[in-house]
Structure 1
Amino acid sequence: MPSVTVNATRMELTRLKNRLKTAVRGHKLLKDKRDELMKQFLESVRENRTLRRRVEEGLMRAHGSFTVASALMSPEGLEQALLYPKQRVELDMTTRNIMSVPVPMYTFRTKECKGKELYPYGFAMTSCEIDGAVEALSSVFQDMLKLAQVEKTSQLLAQEIEKTRRRVNALEYVMIPRMQESIKYIRMKLEENERNNIVRLMKVKDMLLAEALEEKRRQDQKIVQHL
């Protein structure tokens, strides 16, 4: 017996067959989508691991240089040296589509406020270690932005994989078996109705044959009485 009530008619059987065909095709497409999403996700995770290691190394270099610079310079001098930057960063975000999942793409441009120098201070009153820290931060910034993009992409892909996995499981373990069970039930009911109809027709035939024999017997009796 199916878990839901269905009309055991040929029209309902045809409708369920069409729905089952669509569900099976959708199940295959969703499985293909899930597999491709998993491939993209694993590539994103590998890229994320590489970028994170590179960013951490760059930040450690910058932190080491800043630590040495802060030891050689006064806190006021260090703050004054970095107070007015010479470069301004403009960040743009666009999206690209991965298997119907919009993921972000970050790009940035730097604009010099004064001249083309990276360092916003003079070299006479500052330590050379601060130059290395500023240069390390400048070089690691692109990787940090790429890392943020890859991590967000991984998060969105993971959410879509989970959503697609639930849909695949719902089709595979709930909807398709339920429709198959309903189709089997309708077929059994139709076959049962067919057998019942055949039995009724045979009974009607037997009744008609019995009536015909009875009529013939009465006709024979009338003929015998006339003789």
Structure 2
Amino acid sequence: MANIHVNPTRMELTKLKKKLATATRGHKLLKDKRDELMRQFLELVKENKALREKVEAGIHAANKKFLLARSVMDDEILNVSLMAPRQEVYLECHTKNVMSVDILQFDYKTKSPDEHDIYPYGYAFTSSDLDEAVKSLQDILPDMLKLAEVEKSCQLMAAEIEKTRRRVNALEHVMIPEMQEKIKYIVMKLDENERSTQVRLMKVKDMMLEQAHRYREKYYN
């Protein structure tokens, strides 16, 4: 308390009490925000794990089909078959605000609405394994985009959780205790001043009574 530098006045006390009330309310709101962010973050982590396993399984299956196709097709025919993709994908990105965090969301559309219009080659010199490999990659595309969206959301939410946690700790361990100490110091000083004033008034009263008593003695004698 010796290091506290504050003007011990009632105006300053009122101001500090208002600040303390605001800080306490803000601390509660930030704690609630942190807890809700943590809940949503854990849900995203679970979703991210499931999506990653699904995407990795799909890519693994597509790679196996490509290896089978390569084993029965010439490399030159395989490379020519995949040289010019038939389908085009257009990606749109927008954001959604979740607990003051701008979460990315991806939408996509293809040049052709026909989902089977994905094979950029004829069927005369290619194997069915190549068809299945291309179809597997097409099927896994929505999950890949969703995985990218969820992973980025996890990163953004983790950063917001850390920032919120630092603010909660600063309020809880620094700002609120400092304001409480200042309020305690001002109240103590005001009480001391009030007691000193009361003592002075009592002394003044005693002096006035004494003077009045002497005056009466002098007047009547």
Q: How does the TM-score come out when normalised to structure 2?
A: 0.95
**2:27 matched to 1:38?**
no
The residue type equivalent to 1:188 in the other structure is M
Mean CA deviation greater in 70-79 or 99-108: 70-79
Q: CA deviation at 1:62?
A: 0.6
Q: Which runs of 5+ in 1 are unaligned?
A: none
Question: 1:122 and 1:153 mapped to 2: Cα distance?
Answer: 41
Mean CA deviation greater in 197-206 or 144-153: 197-206
Partner of 2:189: 189
Q: CA deviation at 1:214?
A: 2.5
Contact persistence 1:88–1:113 (CA under 8 A): no
Partner of 2:148: 148
- Size of the alignment, in residue pairs? 221
Q: Which runs of 5+ in 2 are unaligned?
A: none
**2:168 matched to 1:134?**
no
Q: CA deviation at 1:67?
A: 1.5
Q: How does 1:158-169 map to 2 (within 5 A)?
A: 158-169=158-169
Partner of 2:60: 60
Mean CA deviation greater in 63-72 or 168-177: 63-72
Question: 1:37 and 1:16 mapped to 2: Cα distance?
Answer: 31
- Aligned-residue identity in percent: 56
* Residues 79 and 114 (structure 1), Cα distance of their counterparts in 2 relative to 1, 3 Å cut: farther
* Residues 170 and 36 (structure 1), Cα distance of their counterparts in 2 relative to 1, 3 Å cut: same
Q: CA deviation at 1:9?
A: 0.3
Deviation digits for residues 176-205 of structure 1, max 9, x if unmatched? 111111111100000000000011111111
Q: How does the TM-score come out when normalised to structure 1?
A: 0.92
Mean CA deviation greater in 206-215 or 92-101: 206-215
Deviation digits for residues 31-64 of structure 1, max 9, x if unmatched? 1111111111111111101100100000000111
Question: 2:14 and 2:2 mapped to 1: Cα distance?
Answer: 17
Q: CA deviation at 1:217?
A: 3.1
SS of residue paired to 1:87: coil
Mean CA deviation greater in 182-191 or 61-70: 61-70
Partner of 1:25: 25
Q: CA deviation at 1:114?
A: 10
Question: 1:114 and 1:172 mapped to 2: Cα distance?
Answer: 58
Contact persistence 1:62–1:137 (CA under 8 A): yes
* Residues 113 and 179 (structure 1), Cα distance of their counterparts in 2 relative to 1, 3 Å cut: closer
Q: How does 1:76-95 map to 2 (within 5 A)?
A: 76-95=76-95
Contact persistence 1:86–1:114 (CA under 8 A): no
Contact persistence 1:101–1:156 (CA under 8 A): yes
Question: 2:119 and 2:201 mapped to 1: Cα distance?
Answer: 102
SS of residue paired to 2:111: strand
SS of residue paired to 2:105: strand
* Residues 206 and 66 (structure 1), Cα distance of their counterparts in 2 relative to 1, 3 Å cut: same
Q: How does 1:100-139 map to 2 (within 5 A)?
A: 100-112=100-112, 117-139=117-139
Large movers: runs of 4+ above 6 Å: none
Q: CA deviation at 1:115?
A: 11
Q: CA deviation at 1:3?
A: 4.5
Q: CA deviation at 1:74?
A: 2.4
SS of residue paired to 2:89: strand
* Residues 127 and 210 (structure 1), Cα distance of their counterparts in 2 relative to 1, 3 Å cut: same
The residue type equivalent to 2:68 in the other structure is V
Q: CA deviation at 1:219?
A: 2.7
Q: CA deviation at 1:117?
A: 2.4
